[in-house]
Structure 1
C-alpha cells in the first residue's frame, strides 16, 4: 500500500479545504478538490501538469 501525502496551497484560507490539493506519484500528478476529498481524482502526466503550472504562473504575473 502506498501512502499519499496531499498538499494544499500556501494561499489556502485554512478553512479545511478551500483549494485544490496536489500530490506526486511516479510519472503522474493527481489532483483533488479540498472540499470533496472523497470525490474523483483526475490524474495528469508530469508534462501536462508542468504546462498547467507554467500557465497559471504566467497569468498570475499579469495580475501584478
Structure 2
C-alpha cells in the first residue's frame, strides 16, 4: 500500500491567486507542482538539486 505525498504550499505564496508552488518529500526526491493545477503532475528533483535550486533562488 503506497502513501500519498503530503504537499505543502510555499510560505511565499499569497492569498491573491498568484503564482503558487507546492513541494512534497517523495521517495529519493523532492516533488514540485503548481498548486493551482495539481492534477497536471509534478517535477521531481534529487534532494541535492532541490537544495541548489532553493539556494540559487534565495541568492537572487
What TM-score do the two structures reach when normalised by structure 2? 0.82
Pairwise CA RMSD? 1.7
Misfit runs of 4+, over 4 Å: none
Flag the structure with higher strand content: 2
Take 1:35 and 1:29, find their aligned partners in 2: how far apart are those partners?
19
Unaligned runs of 5+ in 2: none
What TM-score do the two structures reach when normalised by structure 1? 0.77
Q: Could you say which residue in structure 2 is the equivalent of 1:46?
A: 47
- In the TM superposition, what whole-angstrom CA distance separates every residue of 1:34-64 from its partner, at most 9, and x where no partner exists? 11110021111111101100000111xxxxx
